Structure 1
Amino acid sequence: MTREAFAFTRSFAPTPATELLVDRHYLLCASRGALRLEAEGQRWLLPPARAALLSAGRPATVTIPAPATTASVLFHVDFVPPPREGLAVVDLDPLARALVAECGGWQESEEPLPPYASAIFAALAAVVWRLAERPSPVRMPAGRSAEVRTALRLTEEQLADEVSFADVAAKVGLVPRSLARRFEAEIGMTWRATLRRMRVLRAVERLAADDTPVTTIAHEVGYGSLSAFNAAFRELTGTTPSDYRATFTR
């Protein structure tokens, strides 16, 4: 029998959407780069400071937009109780990240875990299960209708440019007022707020990818002013881009 819990890391080139479905409780995070996770019509971005906890048998789709290294920890259903929610995206605190790193010494094997390793995996589960009671509120915008999904795709393709809502509406075949109502109904925010969130989330991906200067990233995601970029970033994440990047290595 494969041991009751194990961990592994794996490096990936950019990878299109791939279905993830396992028979164990699964903690998935990136140690380098960022992942995109989609499940049940919702989407999340997983930079190194954030992880997804999926209960056994819960399907999800993972996309890797740029080179990344993943860190995965799997728990047998008899080793730990099921998470309260089938899927929770959590912000990892320093203790959780340290435990994930420590668990990395025990990969899949037929040999049982030694007592110390078993205690470390159990401690990680206890910490992450507690964090899952306060899931991260930051989601990537996701629409239900074909028109809104297309509008989101068109908007995301133009984040570095001056994006016109009227042009986006015309391309999806709706008048701006109708598309605006769709955004409010399906996403719960205006198109302008959605654009701002998409720009910040793209910046998070870039911050996780390499050491590109913050000013350069601000311009890449459509901000001509560093102060405006910092304000938008702080509004969504509660911190500055530089401080947010620093959390990846703490």
Structure 2
Amino acid sequence: MTRPAYSFVRTFPAEPERELCVDRHYLLCASAGVLRLEAQGQAWLLPPARAALIEAGRPIRVSIPQPVTTASVLFDAGFVPSPPAPLAVFDLNRLAGALLAECGSWGPSEEQLPRYAETLFAALAAVCWRLAEQPSPVVVPAGRSPELRRALRLTEQRLGDQARFEEIAEEVGLAPRSLARRFDDETGMTWRAVLRRMRILAAVEKLADDDLPITAIAFSVGYSSLSAFNAAFRDLTGRTPTQYRLSFRP
């Protein structure tokens, strides 16, 4: 009989986007590096000290832009309740981190879990299910139509180059008014609001990737002043870029 829950740690090389679907509820935690996750028309970044909770049987798209080390826990659907959302990315608190580390002693096996381990896994699920009710706001729409998905790709490629909406509309073959309507219909956001979120998402990735100065990161994602970058970053994440970077290294 397979264990009702088990843990494992793995390191993955950079990989292009692929589909992931498992038959258990999946708690995926990044300890080094960054993953990109996409589901239900939205895209998240999973940097260190963050976790993703994925409902069993829910296909998601995963890409690994840089090598990443993850600590994961798989929960049998009969052992824990369904997660509060098909996919949620959230900050790990100290209790969740300690429970995750303690659960690391029990990997995949046919041997029965001792009562102590079952209690630990149940406690980890209870804490993470609660945290998943307050997901990370650092999320961007993925788009449904081919035109909007291409417009999003072009926007992301030009974050540091003063992206222009009219040029992107021309390249995807739509009038600016038509593309603006696609953004409203498919994302509920304006192009400029999406651009702002993409810049913050790119900044989070750079904060996790290396020790570049905050000013260099701000300029690389399209901000012309550090104060404007800091204000936009704090407005979306609730923290300054420096505080966010420190949270990767508790």
Q: Which runs of 5+ in 1 are unaligned?
A: none
Written as runs of structure 1 = structure 2, the 5 A alignment for 1:46-125 is 46-125=46-125
| Offset, 1:157 | 0.8
1:42 equivalent in structure 2: 42
1:247 equivalent in structure 2: 247
Structure 1 residues 112 and 204: CA distance shift in structure 2, 3 A? same
1:237 partnered with 2:223: no
Find the aligned partners of 1:55 and 1:164 in 2 and give their Cα distance: 38
1:131 equivalent in structure 2: 131
Bigger shift: residues 145-154 or 113-122: 113-122
1:200 equivalent in structure 2: 200
Bigger shift: residues 233-242 or 137-146: 137-146
Q: What count of residue pairs does the alignment treat as equivalent?
A: 250
CA contact (8 A) 1:48 1:248 kept: yes
Find the aligned partners of 1:77 and 1:174 in 2 and give their Cα distance: 45
1:5 equivalent in structure 2: 5
CA contact (8 A) 1:99 1:120 kept: yes
Question: Could you tell me which amino acid in structure 2 is paired with residue 92 of structure 1?
Answer: L
Find the aligned partners of 2:91 and 2:69 in 1 and give their Cα distance: 18
Q: Which runs of 5+ in 2 are unaligned?
A: none
Deviation string 1:128-181 (CA, Å, 9 cap, x unpaired) is 111223333432222122111111100111112121111111111122222122
CA contact (8 A) 2:41 2:141 kept: no
Deviation string 1:16-36 (CA, Å, 9 cap, x unpaired) is 112211121111121112211
CA contact (8 A) 1:29 1:70 kept: yes
| Offset, 1:102 | 2.2
Question: Could you tell me which amino acid in structure 1 is paired with residue 20 of structure 2?
Answer: L
| Offset, 1:86 | 3.2
Question: Could you tell me which amino acid in structure 1 is paired with residue 72 of structure 2?
Answer: S
Bigger shift: residues 92-101 or 10-19: 92-101
Find the aligned partners of 1:100 and 1:230 in 2 and give their Cα distance: 32
CA contact (8 A) 2:214 2:242 kept: yes
Question: Could you tell me which amino acid in structure 2 is paired with residue 85 of structure 1?
Answer: A
Structure 1 residues 98 and 150: CA distance shift in structure 2, 3 A? same
| Offset, 1:84 | 3.7
| Superposition misfits of 4+ residues, deviation over 4 angstroms | none
| TM-score for both structures, normalised by structure 2 | 0.93
* Other structure's SS at 1:74 match: strand
CA contact (8 A) 1:141 1:198 kept: no
CA contact (8 A) 2:138 2:201 kept: no
